[in-house]
Protein backbone atom coordinates (compact mmCIF):
# COMPACT_ATOMS: atom_id res chain seq x y z
CA UNK A 1 0.00 0.00 0.00
CA UNK A 2 1.27 3.48 -0.83
CA UNK A 3 2.70 5.59 1.95
CA UNK A 4 0.47 8.44 0.75
CA UNK A 5 -2.54 6.46 2.06
CA UNK A 6 -1.37 7.42 5.53
CA UNK A 7 -0.69 11.16 5.87
CA UNK A 8 1.32 10.70 9.09
CA UNK A 9 3.55 7.92 7.74
CA UNK A 10 7.04 8.70 6.39
CA UNK A 11 8.96 5.68 5.03
CA UNK A 12 12.35 5.42 6.69
CA UNK A 13 11.18 8.21 9.06
CA UNK A 14 12.47 10.71 6.48
CA UNK A 15 11.73 14.23 7.64
CA UNK A 16 10.48 13.03 11.02
CA UNK A 17 12.03 14.85 13.98
CA UNK A 18 13.37 12.24 16.37
CA UNK A 19 14.67 14.47 19.13
CA UNK A 20 16.30 17.71 20.19
CA UNK A 21 20.10 17.91 20.36
CA UNK A 22 22.86 20.38 21.17
CA UNK A 23 25.59 18.18 19.69
CA UNK A 24 25.64 18.94 15.97
CA UNK A 25 23.72 20.69 13.23
CA UNK A 26 23.61 20.00 9.50
CA UNK A 27 22.77 23.17 7.55
CA UNK A 28 21.96 21.81 4.12
CA UNK A 29 21.37 25.14 2.37
CA UNK A 30 24.85 26.44 3.12
CA UNK A 31 26.63 23.05 3.14
CA UNK A 32 27.69 23.55 6.73
CA UNK A 33 28.26 21.08 9.56
CA UNK A 34 28.84 22.30 13.09
CA UNK A 35 29.72 20.46 16.29
CA UNK A 36 28.34 22.36 19.27
CA UNK A 37 28.49 25.59 17.24
CA UNK A 38 31.98 25.08 15.80
CA UNK A 39 32.47 24.67 12.06
CA UNK A 40 33.81 21.17 11.39
CA UNK A 41 36.28 22.59 8.85
CA UNK A 42 37.98 24.59 11.61
CA UNK A 43 38.08 21.59 13.95
CA UNK A 44 39.67 19.36 11.30
CA UNK A 45 42.14 21.89 9.92
CA UNK A 46 43.22 23.66 13.10
CA UNK A 47 42.46 21.27 15.94
CA UNK A 48 42.87 17.58 16.66
CA UNK A 49 40.58 14.58 17.04
CA UNK A 50 41.24 14.63 20.78
CA UNK A 51 39.92 18.20 20.94
CA UNK A 52 36.90 17.21 18.86
CA UNK A 53 36.15 14.23 21.10
CA UNK A 54 36.45 16.42 24.21
CA UNK A 55 34.08 18.97 22.64
CA UNK A 56 31.48 16.35 21.77
CA UNK A 57 31.58 14.61 25.15
CA UNK A 58 31.97 17.65 27.42
CA UNK A 59 30.14 20.32 25.45
CA UNK A 60 33.03 22.75 25.10
CA UNK A 61 36.52 22.97 23.69
CA UNK A 62 39.21 22.23 26.30
CA UNK A 63 41.74 24.67 27.63
CA UNK A 64 45.37 23.74 27.12
CA UNK A 65 45.48 22.22 30.61
CA UNK A 66 42.20 20.33 30.11
CA UNK A 67 43.38 18.98 26.76
CA UNK A 68 46.66 17.81 28.27
CA UNK A 69 44.81 16.03 31.08
CA UNK A 70 42.34 14.52 28.61
CA UNK A 71 45.13 13.16 26.42
CA UNK A 72 46.80 11.70 29.50
CA UNK A 73 43.64 9.83 30.49
CA UNK A 74 43.13 8.61 26.93
CA UNK A 75 46.70 7.26 26.89
CA UNK A 76 46.18 5.51 30.23
CA UNK A 77 42.92 3.94 29.02
CA UNK A 78 44.07 2.93 25.54
CA UNK A 79 45.03 -0.69 26.26
CA UNK A 80 42.40 -3.43 26.62
CA UNK A 81 42.49 -6.51 28.87
CA UNK A 82 44.10 -9.68 27.55
CA UNK A 83 40.64 -11.28 27.64
CA UNK A 84 39.61 -9.04 24.74
CA UNK A 85 42.53 -10.24 22.62
CA UNK A 86 41.82 -13.85 23.59
CA UNK A 87 38.24 -13.44 22.41
CA UNK A 88 39.34 -11.88 19.13
CA UNK A 89 41.74 -14.76 18.55
CA UNK A 90 38.80 -17.17 18.69
CA UNK A 91 37.11 -15.50 15.74
CA UNK A 92 37.59 -16.99 12.28
CA UNK A 93 40.24 -15.18 10.23
CA UNK A 94 37.46 -14.40 7.76
CA UNK A 95 35.58 -12.31 10.35
CA UNK A 96 34.71 -8.86 9.08
CA UNK A 97 36.64 -6.08 10.88
CA UNK A 98 33.32 -4.54 11.91
CA UNK A 99 32.43 -7.76 13.70
CA UNK A 100 35.84 -7.64 15.36
CA UNK A 101 35.02 -4.14 16.60
CA UNK A 102 31.63 -5.31 17.92
CA UNK A 103 33.17 -8.23 19.76
CA UNK A 104 35.97 -6.09 21.14
CA UNK A 105 33.66 -3.57 22.75
CA UNK A 106 31.18 -6.22 23.92
CA UNK A 107 33.90 -8.26 25.64
CA UNK A 108 35.50 -5.20 27.23
CA UNK A 109 32.21 -3.89 28.68
CA UNK A 110 32.17 -6.01 31.88
CA UNK A 111 35.79 -5.01 32.56
CA UNK A 112 34.92 -1.31 32.70
CA UNK A 113 35.39 -0.16 36.32
CA UNK A 114 32.00 1.58 36.14
CA UNK A 115 30.23 -1.39 34.57
CA UNK A 116 27.84 -1.82 37.52
CA UNK A 117 26.98 1.87 37.84
CA UNK A 118 23.32 2.76 37.17
CA UNK A 119 22.60 3.66 33.55
CA UNK A 120 21.64 7.16 34.65
CA UNK A 121 24.88 7.87 36.58
CA UNK A 122 26.16 10.78 34.49
CA UNK A 123 29.63 10.94 36.01
CA UNK A 124 30.15 7.21 35.50
CA UNK A 125 28.90 7.56 31.94
CA UNK A 126 31.40 10.34 31.29
CA UNK A 127 34.20 8.05 32.41
CA UNK A 128 32.83 5.26 30.23
CA UNK A 129 32.71 7.62 27.25
CA UNK A 130 36.39 8.44 27.64
CA UNK A 131 37.30 4.75 27.81
CA UNK A 132 35.16 4.04 24.77
CA UNK A 133 36.98 6.71 22.75
CA UNK A 134 40.39 5.66 24.09
CA UNK A 135 40.03 2.01 23.15
CA UNK A 136 38.63 2.29 19.63
CA UNK A 137 41.93 2.57 17.76
CA UNK A 138 43.41 -0.28 19.83
CA UNK A 139 40.49 -2.66 19.33
CA UNK A 140 40.39 -2.04 15.58
CA UNK A 141 44.15 -1.81 15.09
CA UNK A 142 45.15 -4.84 17.13
CA UNK A 143 42.06 -6.68 15.96
CA UNK A 144 43.45 -6.33 12.45
CA UNK A 145 46.82 -7.64 13.58
CA UNK A 146 45.20 -10.68 15.15
CA UNK A 147 43.24 -11.57 12.03
CA UNK A 148 46.47 -11.28 10.04
CA UNK A 149 48.06 -13.85 12.37
CA UNK A 150 50.20 -11.34 14.28
CA UNK A 151 50.39 -10.66 17.99
CA UNK A 152 48.92 -7.39 19.29
CA UNK A 153 51.30 -4.50 19.80
CA UNK A 154 51.37 -2.51 23.02
CA UNK A 155 50.05 1.00 22.42
CA UNK A 156 52.55 3.82 22.85
CA UNK A 157 51.17 6.31 25.41
CA UNK A 158 52.94 9.15 23.57
CA UNK A 159 50.80 8.55 20.48
CA UNK A 160 47.63 10.35 19.55
CA UNK A 161 44.64 8.19 18.63
CA UNK A 162 45.46 8.59 14.92
CA UNK A 163 49.11 7.72 15.50
CA UNK A 164 48.14 4.72 17.62
CA UNK A 165 45.90 3.33 14.89
CA UNK A 166 48.52 3.75 12.16
CA UNK A 167 51.25 2.26 14.36
CA UNK A 168 49.19 -0.82 15.22
CA UNK A 169 48.05 -1.42 11.64
CA UNK A 170 51.38 -0.79 9.89
CA UNK A 171 53.81 -1.64 12.68
CA UNK A 172 55.86 1.50 12.02
CA UNK A 173 55.93 5.04 13.35
CA UNK A 174 53.74 7.30 11.17
CA UNK A 175 55.17 10.57 9.88
CA UNK A 176 53.55 13.89 10.73
CA UNK A 177 51.69 14.34 7.43
CA UNK A 178 50.31 10.81 7.53
CA UNK A 179 49.08 11.24 11.08
CA UNK A 180 47.49 14.62 10.30
CA UNK A 181 45.50 13.26 7.37
CA UNK A 182 44.04 10.44 9.46
CA UNK A 183 43.51 12.73 12.45
CA UNK A 184 41.57 15.20 10.29
CA UNK A 185 39.39 12.44 8.90
CA UNK A 186 38.57 11.26 12.43
CA UNK A 187 37.30 14.73 13.34
CA UNK A 188 35.26 14.87 10.13
CA UNK A 189 33.71 11.45 10.73
CA UNK A 190 33.11 11.96 14.46
CA UNK A 191 29.50 13.13 14.37
CA UNK A 192 26.67 13.68 11.91
CA UNK A 193 23.31 14.19 13.57
CA UNK A 194 20.56 11.58 13.95
CA UNK A 195 21.91 9.19 11.32
CA UNK A 196 20.97 5.50 11.45
CA UNK A 197 23.77 4.32 13.75
CA UNK A 198 23.45 7.27 16.11
CA UNK A 199 19.69 6.79 16.34
CA UNK A 200 20.21 3.08 17.01
CA UNK A 201 22.60 3.95 19.83
CA UNK A 202 20.10 6.38 21.35
CA UNK A 203 17.27 3.83 21.08
CA UNK A 204 19.39 1.28 22.93
CA UNK A 205 20.48 3.50 25.82
CA UNK A 206 16.95 4.92 26.09
CA UNK A 207 15.89 1.52 27.44
CA UNK A 208 18.41 2.17 30.26
CA UNK A 209 20.71 -0.45 28.86
CA UNK A 210 24.42 0.38 29.28
CA UNK A 211 26.50 2.64 27.04
CA UNK A 212 28.51 -0.26 25.64
CA UNK A 213 25.30 -1.86 24.39
CA UNK A 214 24.59 1.44 22.66
CA UNK A 215 28.04 1.45 21.06
CA UNK A 216 27.63 -2.15 19.85
CA UNK A 217 24.22 -1.22 18.40
CA UNK A 218 25.87 1.67 16.58
CA UNK A 219 28.60 -0.56 15.15
CA UNK A 220 26.09 -3.14 13.99
CA UNK A 221 24.04 -0.46 12.26
CA UNK A 222 27.08 1.19 10.66
CA UNK A 223 28.15 -2.17 9.21
CA UNK A 224 25.23 -2.10 6.76
CA UNK A 225 26.26 -0.93 3.27
CA UNK A 226 23.43 1.60 3.10
CA UNK A 227 25.08 3.51 5.97
CA UNK A 228 28.79 2.72 6.21
CA UNK A 229 31.12 1.27 3.61
CA UNK A 230 30.85 3.94 0.90
CA UNK A 231 34.53 4.82 1.30
CA UNK A 232 35.45 1.18 0.69
CA UNK A 233 33.29 1.01 -2.44
CA UNK A 234 34.72 4.31 -3.67
CA UNK A 235 38.24 2.88 -3.52
CA UNK A 236 37.19 -0.25 -5.37
CA UNK A 237 35.76 2.06 -8.04
CA UNK A 238 39.02 4.01 -8.32
CA UNK A 239 40.98 0.78 -8.58
CA UNK A 240 38.65 -0.43 -11.33
CA UNK A 241 39.37 2.76 -13.29
CA UNK A 242 43.06 2.17 -12.70
CA UNK A 243 44.70 5.05 -14.55
CA UNK A 244 43.90 8.76 -15.10
CA UNK A 245 43.67 8.16 -18.82
CA UNK A 246 40.74 5.81 -18.28
CA UNK A 247 38.77 8.10 -16.00
CA UNK A 248 36.82 10.27 -18.44
CA UNK A 249 35.57 7.40 -20.59
CA UNK A 250 34.71 5.40 -17.46
CA UNK A 251 32.67 8.15 -15.83
CA UNK A 252 30.77 9.00 -19.03
CA UNK A 253 29.94 5.32 -19.54
CA UNK A 254 28.87 5.00 -15.92
CA UNK A 255 26.55 7.98 -16.26
CA UNK A 256 25.15 6.72 -19.55
CA UNK A 257 24.42 3.27 -18.12
CA UNK A 258 23.19 4.69 -14.80
CA UNK A 259 25.84 2.98 -12.68
CA UNK A 260 26.15 4.02 -9.06
CA UNK A 261 29.03 6.50 -8.70
CA UNK A 262 30.34 5.85 -5.20
CA UNK A 263 31.42 8.75 -3.01
CA UNK A 264 29.27 11.44 -4.65
CA UNK A 265 26.22 13.23 -3.32
CA UNK A 266 24.62 13.19 0.11
CA UNK A 267 20.93 13.53 0.87
CA UNK A 268 21.63 15.88 3.78
CA UNK A 269 23.41 18.44 1.60
CA UNK A 270 21.96 20.25 -1.42
CA UNK A 271 25.42 20.95 -2.79
CA UNK A 272 28.79 20.19 -1.24
CA UNK A 273 29.51 17.98 1.75
CA UNK A 274 31.51 20.37 3.96
CA UNK A 275 33.53 17.48 5.36
CA UNK A 276 34.84 16.67 1.90
CA UNK A 277 36.33 20.12 1.29
CA UNK A 278 39.25 19.94 3.73
CA UNK A 279 39.74 16.19 3.39
CA UNK A 280 40.02 16.55 -0.40
CA UNK A 281 42.71 19.18 0.08
CA UNK A 282 44.87 17.09 2.41
CA UNK A 283 44.23 13.87 0.50
CA UNK A 284 45.54 15.41 -2.72
CA UNK A 285 48.54 16.88 -0.89
CA UNK A 286 49.23 13.42 0.51
CA UNK A 287 49.12 11.87 -2.96
CA UNK A 288 51.78 14.35 -4.12
CA UNK A 289 53.95 13.79 -1.05
CA UNK A 290 53.77 10.00 -1.37
CA UNK A 291 54.25 9.97 -5.14
CA UNK A 292 50.84 8.39 -5.81
CA UNK A 293 49.20 11.18 -7.76
CA UNK A 294 47.31 8.88 -10.10
CA UNK A 295 44.55 8.56 -7.51
CA UNK A 296 44.12 12.32 -7.12
CA UNK A 297 44.30 12.73 -10.91
CA UNK A 298 41.50 10.18 -11.38
CA UNK A 299 39.59 11.99 -8.64
CA UNK A 300 40.01 15.33 -10.45
CA UNK A 301 38.46 13.91 -13.61
CA UNK A 302 35.52 12.31 -11.80
CA UNK A 303 34.85 15.45 -9.76
CA UNK A 304 34.95 17.67 -12.86
CA UNK A 305 32.56 15.52 -14.90
CA UNK A 306 30.14 14.95 -12.02
CA UNK A 307 29.97 18.69 -11.34
CA UNK A 308 29.59 19.76 -14.98
CA UNK A 309 27.21 16.97 -16.01
CA UNK A 310 25.17 16.41 -12.85
CA UNK A 311 25.99 19.27 -10.47
CA UNK A 312 26.84 16.60 -7.89
CA UNK A 313 29.87 16.92 -5.63
CA UNK A 314 31.99 14.42 -3.69
CA UNK A 315 31.02 13.52 -0.15
CA UNK A 316 33.53 12.83 2.62
CA UNK A 317 33.86 9.16 1.67
CA UNK A 318 35.43 9.95 -1.72
CA UNK A 319 38.65 11.67 -0.57
CA UNK A 320 38.79 9.37 2.46
CA UNK A 321 38.97 6.39 0.11
CA UNK A 322 42.16 7.29 -1.68
CA UNK A 323 43.67 9.05 1.34
CA UNK A 324 43.40 5.86 3.39
CA UNK A 325 44.74 3.80 0.48
CA UNK A 326 47.83 6.00 0.18
CA UNK A 327 48.27 5.69 3.95
CA UNK A 328 48.61 1.94 3.45
CA UNK A 329 45.40 1.04 5.27
CA UNK A 330 43.63 -2.14 4.07
CA UNK A 331 40.37 -1.31 2.34
CA UNK A 332 38.18 -3.38 4.66
CA UNK A 333 39.39 -1.25 7.59
CA UNK A 334 37.90 1.95 6.16
CA UNK A 335 34.52 1.53 7.85
CA UNK A 336 36.11 0.46 11.17
CA UNK A 337 38.06 3.77 11.04
CA UNK A 338 34.61 5.34 10.93
CA UNK A 339 33.94 3.50 14.22
CA UNK A 340 37.16 4.82 15.80
CA UNK A 341 35.90 8.33 15.08
CA UNK A 342 32.16 7.95 15.56
CA UNK A 343 32.32 6.38 19.04
CA UNK A 344 32.92 9.95 20.23
CA UNK A 345 29.66 11.12 18.65
CA UNK A 346 27.75 8.03 19.76
CA UNK A 347 28.99 8.53 23.32
CA UNK A 348 27.93 12.17 23.26
CA UNK A 349 24.46 11.19 22.07
CA UNK A 350 24.17 8.47 24.70
CA UNK A 351 25.04 11.00 27.39
CA UNK A 352 22.52 13.48 26.01
CA UNK A 353 19.77 10.88 25.70
CA UNK A 354 20.22 9.73 29.27
CA UNK A 355 20.20 13.24 30.75
CA UNK A 356 16.55 13.74 29.75
CA UNK A 357 15.54 10.23 28.86
CA UNK A 358 12.33 8.93 27.42
CA UNK A 359 11.90 5.46 25.95
CA UNK A 360 11.89 5.68 22.14
CA UNK A 361 8.90 3.68 20.97
CA UNK A 362 7.30 4.70 17.65
CA UNK A 363 3.95 3.40 16.46
CA UNK A 364 3.30 1.25 13.40
CA UNK A 365 0.44 0.89 10.92
CA UNK A 366 -1.02 -2.62 10.82
CA UNK A 367 -2.01 -3.93 7.38
CA UNK A 368 -2.43 -7.61 8.23
CA UNK A 369 -5.62 -9.70 8.28
CA UNK A 370 -8.33 -9.37 10.92
CA UNK A 371 -10.79 -11.78 12.61
CA UNK A 372 -8.99 -14.94 11.48
CA UNK A 373 -10.55 -17.98 13.11
CA UNK A 374 -8.17 -20.27 15.00
CA UNK A 375 -8.29 -23.96 14.07
CA UNK A 376 -6.45 -26.82 15.80
CA UNK A 377 -3.27 -28.08 14.11
CA UNK A 378 -4.96 -31.38 13.24
CA UNK A 379 -7.56 -29.54 11.20
CA UNK A 380 -5.24 -27.19 9.25
Please give the Cα distance from 66 to 82 (Å, whole number): 30
CA distances from 334 to 74, 116, 253, 350, 353 (A): 22, 33, 27, 24, 28
Q: Is the CB of residue 100 less than 8 Å from the CB of residue 140?
A: yes
Cβ neighbours around 97 below 10 Å, total: 20
Q: Is the CB of residue 341 less than 8 Å from the CB of residue 215?
A: no
DSSP state of 264: B
Active site residues: 266, 317
Please give the Cα distance from 373 to 22 (Å, whole number): 52
Please state whether beta strands 24-27 and 32-35 pair in parallel, antiparallel, or not at all (unpaired): antiparallel
* H or E stretch at 184: helix 176-189
Cβ neighbours around 77 below 10 Å, total: 18
DSSP bridge pairs for 23: none
Please give the Cα distance from 199 to 360 (Å, whole number): 10
Please give the Cα distance from 317 to 325 (Å, whole number): 12
Amino acid sequence: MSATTYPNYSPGLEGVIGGITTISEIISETSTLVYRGYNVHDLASQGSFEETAYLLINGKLPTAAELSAFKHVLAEEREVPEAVYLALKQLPKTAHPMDIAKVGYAVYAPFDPDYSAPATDHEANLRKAIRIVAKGSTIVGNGHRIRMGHEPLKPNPAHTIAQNFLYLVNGTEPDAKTAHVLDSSLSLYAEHGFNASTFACRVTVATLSDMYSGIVSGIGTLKGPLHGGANEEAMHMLMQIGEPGNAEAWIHDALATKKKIMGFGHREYKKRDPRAIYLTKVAKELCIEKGQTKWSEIADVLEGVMESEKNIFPNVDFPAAYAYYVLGIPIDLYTPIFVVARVSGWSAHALEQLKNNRLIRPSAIYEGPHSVEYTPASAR
